[in-house]
Amino acid sequence: MSPTCDIEITDLIQHLQQLNFPSSFSVEIVFEFTLNKGRVERVVLDEKASTVQRYSCSGEN
C-alpha cells in the first residue's frame, strides 16, 4: 500500500473508534469499500460475513 493509503486507513480507523455502542452490543460488521482514485465510491455491508443481522435494534436476539 502507498503511504497515502496508510494515512487514509488510519483516519478511517480513528473515525470508527469514536462511535459509541452499548456495552452489551457485540457484533462483527464487515464492509466492502469500492475506491476510485483514492476516493470512496461505494460502501456495502457484507451480510454473509457480518453477524449484525442476528441482532435487533431492541437488543433482543
pLDDT of residue 6: 78
In a domain, 9, yes or no: no
pLDDT of residue 36: 84
**Phi, psi at 31, each rounded to 5°:** -110, 150
Nearest to 1 by CA among 29, 35, 30, 32: 35
4-56 pLDDT, tens digit per residue, is 677 778 888 898 889 888 888 888 888 898 888 878 889 898 888 888 755 55
In a domain, 50, yes or no: yes
pLDDT of residue 52: 74
In a domain, 46, yes or no: yes
pLDDT of residue 4: 67
pLDDT of residue 2: 64
Residue 51: all three cell numbers together: 453477524
Domains in the chain, number: 1
The parent domain of residue 35 ranges over 30-61
In a domain, 34, yes or no: yes
In a domain, 18, yes or no: no
